[in-house]
Amino acid sequence: MFRLPKGKPLYENMGLNGLQLPDITAKLSFAKFTGYVHFVFSTSYVILVFEFGQLVSLMSKEGEKPPQKDGFEAMRDLARLITSSENGVISVYQLSPDLTMCIHALLQGEALYRSQELALIDIKAFLARIKDNLMNGCLRIYTDERLAMIFYKDGAPLGFFNDGSETIETTPGDSQHIAKLAGAKLDFFTTVNTEELMSQNLLDVINLDQIWEVAQNSRKAALHKLSEEQQGRQRLEREERLSALAGDVSALCVEYLGDMGSKIFEKEMQTAGGNNCLRSMEEAAPLITALERGARLLMVGQSRINKMKESISNAIAWAGIV
């Protein structure tokens, strides 16, 4: 995952429950926020970079393998992740405009060098070129285990960001050491200056309200479908339990009334509207009354009838089908 300098943390690891994405961007725009917003989810993260309240870039990355997305697709991913995820957190870090520009370069700047072996380039000449051309951007030096970043504005280093640190430092630190390690590589991303960056506000291009509404509707539809599936499963389970209960009650009728007992039970159950009448004692009362009437016709003694009624009541109560 991207490691970025934290700058001045305004919010850190705050839960996303109840937060609306349009409200978040509106507040940051109104406050002319400069810095970046870091959304972290289970397997994804999204970074929004603001410069004086204007959204200058955003990037989303899900998992390890898929490529990162930006622009409209990243915003759509963010809306979807906020509405569907339960474990998302948001962190807001305030940075200086120049550093924000460098962060933007890192995320979406033009890559002059990418994964370039340090041993194969003249680093001194390269650094001189940065200085001479008054470049803005981010130089990233890394190995498989170590990472160091140098932020440049107008060719001059703004600050250093090393492994283990969370803020921008003014000294190179380990960056020179990392550069000397075997297999060290280099990325350099350049971008336009801050004034030019501010001319592009992605919030003016992306219809955030619509994206948010679509994401919410999708979430509701997904929840509704899930609920329907769950209800369907519950209904199926209830049907199975009712069928089993009907079988048990039929067996009780045979035990107390003979073969005619099951026929009387089947017929009276159909009259009562099917096996749904076995859901509760209140619903089964007319059925039990009809069984009692049938039992009298079969010359069954009252105490035996009472035992049958008690057995059936216990079976219904034990089944506990609602």
Which residues sit at the interface with another protein, rule CB under 8 A? 257-260, 263-264, 267-268, 290, 293-294, 296-304, 307
- Whole-number minimum distance, CB 240 to another protein, in Å? 26
**Amino acid, single-letter form, for residue 180:** K
In the complex, least distance from residue 252 CB atom to another protein, rounded to whole angstroms: 12
- Considering the complex, state which of residue 227 and residue 271 has its C-beta at the smaller distance from another protein: 271
Least CB distance to another protein at residue 228 (A): 39
Report the nearest approach of another protein to the CB of residue 300 (Å).
5
**How many Å apart are CA 290 and CA 288, to the nearest integer?**
5
Task: Report the nearest approach of another protein to the CB of residue 284 (Å).
Answer: 18
Query: Which burial class, exposed, middle or buried, applies to 86 when counting CB atoms under 10 A from its CB (0-12, 13-18, 19+)?
Result: exposed
CB of 273 to another protein, least distance (A): 16
HSE (CB half, 13 Å, CA atoms) of 301?
Answer: 3
Please say which residue, 171 or 303, places its beta carbon nearer to another protein.
303
Q: Return the SS3 of 230.
A: helix
Decide whether 78 or 300 has the Cβ nearer to another protein. Answer: 300
Judged by beta carbon, residue 34 or residue 262, the one nearer another protein is 262
Rounded-to-integer distance, Cα 70 and Cα 57, Å: 8
Q: For residues 246 and 278, is the Cβ–Cβ distance under 8 A? A: yes
Least CB distance to another protein at residue 243 (A):
21
Tokens of 55: 């959204």
Least separation in angstroms between residue 260's CB and another protein is: 6
DSSP secondary structure, 259-300, as one string: HHHHHHHHHHHHHTTSGGGGSSHHHHHHHHHHHHHHHHHTT-
Tell me 73's DSSP state.
H
Q: Which is nearer to another protein, 192 or 300 (CB)?
A: 300
Q: Which is closer to another protein, CB of 8 or CB of 293?
A: 293
Nearer to another protein, 155 or 286 (CB): 286
Give the containing element (helix H, strand E) for 13.
Answer: strand 8-15
Q: Where are the alpha helices (DSSP H) in the chain?
A: 21-30, 71-84, 97-108, 123-132, 175-179, 194-197, 202-205, 208-257, 259-271, 281-297, 302-319
For another protein, which is the closer residue by CB, 220 or 304?
Answer: 304
Answer for the pair 17, 84: CB distance below 8 angstroms, yes or no. no
